[in-house]
Amino acid sequence: MSESSNIPLASKRLDPLIVHPDFNFPDADIILFVTARCLLEGQLPVHTDIRLAPSDSGRTNDSDGEEDFPSQTSRERKEPIPEHHSQTTLFKVHKSVLGRASEVFADMFTIPQPSIQNTVDGLPIIYVHDDPIDVHNLINHIYNSDVLHYLPLRQSTFDIMSSIIRLSRKYLLLRLAPAAMFRIRSDWPTTLEEWDKNELHLLAITRWNAQVRYDSQDGRSRLGPEDHLVEPCGVIRFARQEDIPEILPAAFYHLSRISSLNDPHRPKSGNESQKRAHCSWTEGCRYATRSFLTPADWDTLMIGKAEIRAWFANFRKYGWQSIHAKNCGAGDPNGCVLSSQEGWKSYWEETIELLTRKTLGQDGLDVMEILHDLRQAVLHDENLCPACRIQARNIIAKET
């Protein structure tokens, strides 16, 4: 072998080299050299030709140095990596593409480089000390930035956007960061209109996930990561870390409607484990990793759930007293139950309270969904005249 190494000894001896298969362009002119925890689920065979610049000591990596610096020229690594083992992930990419997205990369590429430098497969190296998952998500979006607004509302989309925001200050992502922030805020909105729009999208994913489960012949199929709904505890932790408080109300509400039993880290046994696993399928893989929460987050969650439950109990019992509730003016007692003096009170007790009787016992109480179902129910109630159906729907709508 030719030259010697000035790569840190730990990297040379312990860290397997992985060329990420998504970013292994044959015409690449730069390599991002990321050493951290494992990014890929398994080891891939990797062919590399590493040529290293002379070290400060001037020592060459000849046969005398093979004991200290094992040869890594044109070698294929196939041995498995133990779980949580550190590894080096290589991204073979293009300077021009990275430079357009990041002012830091653009400036870095303009700095004159020494005539002799470390290379991998003949390409210069940039050492990156960031989470390789964040680096992967960032590069993935840099190369596919035109699809940002078309990505569905799911966990993988949130992972990409959060990676961009985490790295935005370090790499001055002046174009990508605002778009990623806009997407995060859109997915966790502050208006009911945007929330309802997202819920329709999530409902479609949930039904599809459930259908995948039911259509399985062996009953043991599993959803892929691309089908998972966004996990809210990770969103809450991200919002705290990056100081984005405006997305917290939506994230906490989403968390409040997920049963505590739907936590992948909650100990389960026997039949309960099977039932809960099946439940997570029918709910479209909605789950929450509550171990991400801080004590302050737990306080916020518990207080919020208690306030929602108290409001809903009051709504079930006294909603008929709304100032917008007017007795039917049609004057036909046989055509509308609201034509009597006590019409609203009777209708509320016999219909609304009955429809919502079981909801207070639910661990994950989704008040928004319940009110949506109530609006649809009264709109098609044959015991009401057309005018009072609209009136009842509007009264329930005003409560949201």
pLDDT in tens, 303-316: 999 999 899 888 88
pLDDT-above-90 percentage for the chain: 26
Determine how β-strand 30-37 pairs with β-strand 47-51.
Answer: unpaired
The pLDDT of residue 289 is 87
Query: Lowest-confidence range among 28-37, 222-231, 337-346?
Result: 222-231
Q: In this model, does residue 49 exceed pLDDT 70? A: no
pLDDT band at 229 (very low <50, low <70, confident <90, very high): confident
pLDDT band at 63 (very low <50, low <70, confident <90, very high): very low
pLDDT band at 97 (very low <50, low <70, confident <90, very high): very high
User: Span 342-347, mean pLDDT?
Assistant: 82
pLDDT in tens, 101-151: 999 999 988 888 777 778 888 888 988 888 888 999 999 989 987 777 788
The pLDDT of residue 217 is 52
DSSP 61: -
The pLDDT of residue 8 is 40
The pLDDT of residue 129 is 87
Query: Lowest-confidence range among 68-72, 85-89, 289-293?
Result: 68-72
Ranges of H-type helices in the chain: 9-14, 95-101, 103-110, 132-143, 155-171, 176-187, 192-215, 232-242, 248-256, 270-282, 295-318, 343-347, 353-355, 367-379, 386-399
Burial of 243 (0-12, 13-18, 19+ CB in 10 A): exposed
Q: Are 64 and 160 in contact (CB under 8 A)?
A: no
pLDDT band at 222 (very low <50, low <70, confident <90, very high): low
Instruction: For the chain, give the mean pLDDT.
Output: 75
Burial of 145 (0-12, 13-18, 19+ CB in 10 A): middle
More confident residue, 15 or 326: 326
